[in-house]
Amino acid sequence: MKELRPKLFDCLKGYTGNQLVKDIISGIIVAIIALPLSIALAIASGVGPEQGLYTAIIAGFFISFFGGSRVQIGGPTAAFVVIIYGIVMKNGLDGLIVATIMAGVFLVIMGICHFGSLIKYIPYTITTGFTCGIAVTLFVGQLKDFFGFRMDSVPSEFFPKIVAYVKSAGTINVTATLIGLLAVLIMILWSKIAAKWPNPVMSVLPGSLVAIVATTLIVYFGGLEVNTIGSVYGKLSSSFPKFHIPNVTFAMLQDLIQPAFTIAILAGIESLLSAVVSDGMIGDTHKSNAELVGQGLGNIFSGLFGGIPATGAIARTAANVRNGGRTPIAGITHCITLTLILLLLMPLAALIPMTTLAAVLLVVAANMADWKSFIRLCKTAPKSDILVLVVTFLLTVFFDLVVAIEVGVILASLLFMKRMADTASISGWKYVEEPETTPEEAEKLRGMSKAIRVFEISGPMFFAAADRILKINKKDFTKVIVVRMRAVPAIDASAIKNFHALYEDAKREGIELVFSHVNEQPYSALLKDGFVELIGEERFRKDINEAIDYAETLIK
């Protein structure tokens, strides 16, 4: 249970007033950074802008309070935009809430069952492929608001979306486009100026917030004809979210189990990656299973309070560390600050231009795609890895993330099994000295009876390679077959079945079987199956010398 104990409780031991001040300041700064992103990501996901803040407040609190990282900041992230938008279009807001809660339940179960370490089995090629695919989809999804196209609705699929944009090209709002370009320019220049001339103001204010404030003032005082959050969504709620249990049907649960599981996997991967990155920054070690439980509770309560899926946000977590945050108190302060903004300043958010929020997400999409790694993998990785990478990327862009991850994992698993099967081999000894053969073994081999044949098995013997056991060929003069298994780390049921077949075949031809150097897992599996008892425990020898000596006695 210690692995599931929230990191907050560990951090409170020896907690000082000085660190409290640092955590509070850092939490306020991170809230300022999270504000525009939360609103923009919510709108891009097809829900109201308030729901982005609800998510950052509710999910962020539970992730900080119950999570396994000292500095993790939770909230909505760009990775979820594509899948959330698809759920909303197909199942509505109630469907999204149900999927969010289901994903939270999956995450809690994964944490309780200590699945935290299993996330590492998702291949790097898959995470790179769907991250770049999400970035492309997110980028394309912002073009309507960035250019101010007059469109009733935007299709969720990639190709129909592009076609709709082309058909609406004549409705472009030049003023909105110029405001969007100005927002992008401000964000780019702000980051460069902050890097060149660092000062307290630039370290606190993110470029996205500066761009939002500047363009909002220009549009408002200039009376420009540009869509704003208020003109599209009407009056924004400035009240705290209310607890709400959605209407659930069994058919809805069946329909949403796949996207909910995908959300859980995405949340697990992104949160644990963020925790690993932050561990390196502060010299700490997170509790992966407690982090999954915290993420799960965050998503459950986010759904119950009208929010959307959340996970650990790498950029916000890094900002927390850079500004002095060292305990979950900083994450909780970030939630309190956003709550005050929601209650006191939310009506002002209605003035923000939609093209500016689109510009913010265009920059986010450009930054989240790791194209250098994508191109490097295409140039240097094995062909099987390139196939997984490209297939995952294309499926994410042209179909959806659920299909991409499912096919990507299955394809990667099949290709991995093929590589493992290719490494497995069974070869008959030709009685010549091998590099690793000891002088004693070499002498014994030279004097060994020709009625004894030695076969060396190498690599894991599982279902994709187990058929090779049946290819152990016998000669007319063979009386004993010695099966050397020092290089077999593991076997499965298919291999055991084929060992039985080998034994029955040898028995019919009057040939004895002897096994040499059977490792722990294969021996345990054969013992449990009853194969050891079937042929006799004395036929399993600890090394090749003993095996050949025993084979000689069988001949005599």
Residue from 409, 407, 386 nearest 395 by CA? 407
At 141 the pLDDT is: 87
Q: Contact at 8 Å (CB) between 333 and 65?
A: no
Q: Which CATH class is domain 425-555?
A: alpha beta
Residue 328 CB burial class (10 angstroms; 0-12, 13-18, ≥19): buried
Interval 196-222: pLDDT, tens: 777 766 666 788 888 999 999 999 999
Residue from 429, 468, 431, 464 nearest 447 by CA? 431
At 203 the pLDDT is: 66
> 491 in helix, strand or coil?
strand
DSSP structure class, residue 80: G
Pairing type for strands 452-458 and 480-487 reads parallel
Alpha carbon 234 to its chain's center: 36
Q: Tell me the three-class secondary structure of 236-261, residue by residue.
A: CCCCCCCCCCCCCCHHHHHHHHHHHH
Tens of pLDDT along the chain (556 residues) come to: 678 999 999 998 889 999 999 999 999 989 988 998 899 999 989 999 999 999 999 999 999 999 999 999 999 998 898 899 989 988 999 999 999 999 999 999 999 999 887 776 778 898 889 889 888 988 998 899 999 998 877 787 888 889 999 999 899 999 999 999 999 999 999 888 877 777 766 666 788 888 999 999 999 999 999 999 988 888 888 888 889 888 888 899 999 999 999 999 989 988 988 888 888 889 888 999 999 999 999 999 999 999 999 999 888 998 899 888 999 999 999 999 999 999 998 888 889 999 999 998 898 888 878 899 899 999 998 998 999 999 999 998 988 777 888 888 889 888 888 888 888 888 877 655 455 556 666 656 656 777 888 899 999 998 888 888 888 876 667 889 999 999 999 999 999 999 999 999 999 888 999 999 999 999 999 999 999 999 999 999 998 888 988 998 888 7
At 452 the pLDDT is: 87
pTM score, whole prediction: 0.77
Residue from 485, 389, 535, 84 nearest 266 by CA? 84
Six-digit token string for 63: 């992730």
At 361 the pLDDT is: 87
- Residue ranges of the chain that CATH labels 3.30.750.24: 425-555
* d(C-alpha 403, C-alpha 81), whole Å: 16
* d(C-alpha 49, C-alpha 521), whole Å: 55
Residue 453 CB burial class (10 angstroms; 0-12, 13-18, ≥19): buried
Residue 3: left (phi > 0), alpha (psi -120 to 50), or beta? alpha
Please tell me the number of Cα atoms within 13 Å of 446 on its side-chain side.
9
